[in-house]
Amino acid sequence: MSMTRITDELREWTRTHTVNCSDNRIALVAIADRIDAEHEMELRDTGDDIVRDVKHEWIRLPKDADGVPWHINDEFEVDEVIAHVNGIGDNRLFYIDNDGMQWTRADNKRHHHVPTIEDVLQEFTDEVWNRCCGGATASDSGIDELVAEYAAKLRLAGDK
């Protein structure tokens, strides 16, 4: 039974049963309100991976490959096309494409974001590095710092 249903039951009992004093009635409703408030605060403190479903029950949202919770309308890539999350299930994302409603696993996708200058430069330098210096990683070479430096220069060039 959810906390809300328990406190609603307490409020209903208080309304329907004769309580010796109206102060008692007020006190019982205040207790129910405090229980709800404390419960809400505890749920908020757990992070943004919990939502209330249509039955007013709390569920954990599925997370992407990076551990970030999925929400309705988030974007991800499917077959080189950007899709929107239309529904969420048990480790599933539901989306609509030309063939209708589809689903995919939530934990093997990543949230889509518009590529930044750094992303494009990083992709470029990684590709150059892989073609020239196979075996080591590009970040070991100091290329990451070079990417940041040139991204800043490209931003300044766009301001002129």
pLDDT tens digits, residue range 52-72?
555 556 677 899 999 999 999
The verdict on residue 110 lying in a domain is no
- 70: phi then psi, degrees, rounded to nearest 5: -90, 145
Are 7 and 33 in a shared domain? yes
| 58 Cβ neighbours under 8 A, 6+ residues apart | 2, 43, 50, 51, 52
The verdict on residue 38 lying in a domain is yes
Give the total number of structural domains in the chain.
3
Global confidence as pTM: 0.48
Are 98 and 64 in a shared domain? yes
pLDDT tens digit sequence for 89-111? 889 999 999 888 999 999 999 99
**pLDDT score, position 6:** 75
Residue range(s) defining the domain that contains residue 155: 117-159
